[in-house]
Amino acid sequence: MSSDLKAVIDRAESWPEAAREELVSIAEQIETELKAKEYLASADELRVVDAAMASLDQGEQASDDDVRDAFVRFRQ
């Protein structure tokens, strides 16, 4: 174990219970991501990506206003 990791774990032992639980939760999320298998896109997803790439190849792109509007919608 690295000395930095050991030091954090040692200090965390004196943290409030909620903070220790959060640290455990974050560590478990990291572990899950490390163990995750490679994502394989479905045929439908690949078709969507191919269509988007073809549009880009043809010079089509969203305007600044389109992008701004999309961000407004996604933030709601």
Tens of pLDDT, residue by residue over 35-75, are 887 778 899 999 999 999 999 999 988 889 989 999 999 88
Question: Does one domain contain both 29 and 47?
Answer: no
Residue 23, burial from CB neighbour count under 10 angstroms (0-12, 13-18, 19+): middle
Domain enclosing residue 47, as ranges: 43-74
Question: Does one domain contain both 31 and 48?
Answer: no
Q: State the average pLDDT over residues 17-32.
A: 94
Question: Does one domain contain both 52 and 68?
Answer: yes
Question: Does one domain contain both 23 and 47?
Answer: no
Give the count of domains, the chain.
Answer: 2
pLDDT for 33: 84
pLDDT for 1: 77
